[in-house]
Amino acid sequence: MKMSAVLVLLSSVLIFTPVVRAEKGVPSAGASEQSAPAHSPADDEQIQEGVIPDDPDKEFLKLPEKEYTSQEKQDLDRRQSIKKAEKLYSKAVKSYEKGNVRKARDYYLKAMEELWDNEFDIASYYAIKTEVDGIFEKLGKEYYSTARSTCPADGRRYCVPLDEENELVQKYLKLYTQGKSKKVIRKALERSGRYRNMIMPILKEYDIPEEMVYLPIVESLYNVDDRSWAGAVGLWQIMSHRGRALGLKINYWIDERKDPEKSTRAAAKYLQELHIMFDDWHLALAAYNRGENGLGRDLKFSQAVDIEQMSNRKAGPRETRMYVPQFITAVLIGEDPEKYGFDVEYDPPFEYDTVTVNEVIDLKIVAKCAGTTLEKIRELNPAITAWCTPQGYDDFELHLPVGAREQFLENIVNVKDKNPSRGFIKYKVVKGDSLSRIAHKFGTTVRAVKEDNKIKNPRLLRIGKVLIIRPGQKYFNKR
């Protein structure tokens, strides 16, 4: 029974096969050569590439094509673009390994252009660069050492062209040198004294023009706690995805965009990458503000080749077009403040002792062991966002007041519990209190207060009643 079924099936296949072969242009056993369709070399090429030549008579043999939504098509195009960019980047790495730096740079820029055309965000940009730290650091040093210096060889003082007569620069000079703006710029210049001695050697290490020491005036007014409306943070106003891509730790416990030295290294590294990409410091600065993908699209759309053409053709956001004139203005004022009517008393350099810790320590205990205040510890460690040193951070460098290192090390070994529980606080209800008001006062929630005190009906709250409160983090941060 089974054998007969197999024979029937086999016979049906054999009967049908010649028909299919004949329709595909291959002569069947009973067909003459004249009945075979014409065959061209182009068909061979298509078959080698895995594509069946189009034939309207064979449409019934094809599976129906999937209908994609516009979003699915966009996702598909982007995936294909990433693959193409990855191949180009791989060629860049191989060219670099063979010692061909310029060819490596060209391949890399082509990879970036592929992403620009598809409007990728920065996360996608870094997704194709798993070796970004090594390749770019080597590529940058090799490019600068073998090709040319980033600074001109004609004896000019500045590496970044500074056109003082530019119309926009003149407008910003007028704005920055009078009224409230002048006070703000003066304060920024004074704060720069804290970090200048730290920033200058790092700029030199990465072969970045010294004028970039004034870039934080434009970005943050030299305020480590500054946060933009878009979420950029710190002296150099680095976005979170960018910071992580540049090696900064950003999580619940710590935000190294606020660390002056680490964020400066990240910014210098990024500026170096941008100059390799655009080979022009004005465009590198514009890309620092706009993002390299965004600037690449702006240049391609407007066919502008420099910052002046971008401005004239209104390419890109107004903020980006104004960015370089603002920077030039900051440099001019910073280099000669007296010329522009500024009387500046620079803050003393930001100095501290450093100890390496590999455990969580409450900052209050740190302050006590170092013989200083919690406020001072937070000032010296602006990157710490929690109440303690960051959890899970090996060899964390904790900053202490100058001269406090030995005292801290002597005292901390005697502390048994370095991160004690904050426990509970007893609170007596007074006139005008409510659960929401009490919860707000101690940085906790109404639900937590009700659960800890087994309160079912808030209306039964009475003056003089003693409540057990577990304060939240906000309560301790205020103290």
Two structure tokens written together for 365: 């205990």
Strands 396-400 and 353-357: antiparallel
Lowest-pLDDT choice from 436-440, 465-469, 474-478: 474-478
Give the whole-angstrom CA distance, residue 107 versus residue 92: 5
- The reported pLDDT for the residue numbered 194 is 97
Beta strands in 284-379 (DSSP E): 353-357
For the segment 84-99, the average pLDDT, to the nearest whole number, is 77
Band (74; pLDDT cuts 50, 70, 90): low
**What domains are there in the chain, each with its CATH number?**
2-48 (no CATH), 88-146 (no CATH), 167-340 (1.10.530.10), 353-412 (3.10.350), 425-478 (3.10.350.10)
For 45-56, how does the pLDDT look when each residue is reduced to its tens digit (9 = 90+)? 443 444 444 444
Band (173; pLDDT cuts 50, 70, 90): very high
The sign of the dihedral angle between the CA atoms of 365, 369, 373, 376 is: negative
Give the whole-angstrom CA distance, residue 90 versus residue 84: 10
Residue type, 44: D
Band (220; pLDDT cuts 50, 70, 90): very high
- From the centroid of its chain, how far is CA 66? 37
For the segment 89-111, the average pLDDT, to the nearest whole number, is 76
> Within 13 Å, how many C-alpha atoms sit on residue 474's CB side?
7
Residue type, 79: R
Q: Name the residue with higher pLDDT: 51 or 10.
A: 51
Two structure tokens written together for 331: 């440099």
Give the whole-angstrom CA distance, residue 108 versus residue 95: 10
Phi-psi region of 361 (alpha: psi -120 to 50; beta: other; left: phi over 0): beta
For 373-404, how does the pLDDT look when each residue is reduced to its tens digit (9 = 90+)? 999 999 999 999 999 999 999 999 999 999 99
Q: What angle do CA 447, 453, 455 make, to 5 degrees?
A: 70
> Within 13 Å, how many C-alpha atoms sit on residue 152's CB side?
11
Q: Name the residue with higher pLDDT: 61 or 324.
A: 324
Give the whole-angstrom CA distance, residue 405 versus residue 401: 8
Lowest-pLDDT choice from 374-378, 406-410, 434-438: 434-438
Q: Tell me 203's DSSP state.
A: H
- The reported pLDDT for the residue numbered 45 is 44
Long-range contacts of 282-289 (CB under 8 A, 24+ apart): 282/160, 282/161, 282/306, 282/307, 282/324, 283/307, 285/160, 285/215, 285/323, 285/324, 285/327, 286/310, 286/316, 286/320, 286/321, 286/323, 286/324, 288/215, 288/323, 289/319, 289/320, 289/323
Lowest-pLDDT choice from 150-159, 183-192, 253-262: 150-159
Two structure tokens written together for 322: 């104004």
Give φ, ψ of 417 to 5 degrees. Answer: -110, 100
Q: Encode 344-353: b = buried (16+ Cβ within 10 Å), e = exposed.
A: beebeebebb
Phi-psi region of 155 (alpha: psi -120 to 50; beta: other; left: phi over 0): left
Q: Tell me 54's DSSP state.
A: P
Residue found under tokens 């009700």: 450
| CA distances for 227 relative to 224, 247, 323, 479, angstroms | 9, 20, 18, 23
Two structure tokens written together for 214: 């004034």
Closest CA to 415 of 463, 382, 366: 366
Look over the chain and give the mean of its residue pLDDT values, rounded to a whole number.
79
- The reported pLDDT for the residue numbered 409 is 97
- The reported pLDDT for the residue numbered 117 is 59
Lowest-pLDDT choice from 16-20, 34-38, 462-466: 16-20
Band (3; pLDDT cuts 50, 70, 90): very low
Q: Name the residue with higher pLDDT: 64 or 320.
A: 320
Give the whole-angstrom CA distance, residue 246 versus residue 274: 13
Find out whether 222 and 191 touch, Cβ atoms under 8 Å.
Answer: yes
Highest-confidence segment of 63-77, 226-240, 441-455, 459-473: 226-240
- The alpha carbon torsion through 365, 371, 374, 376 (nearest 10 deg) reads -140
Residue found under tokens 């960051």: 390
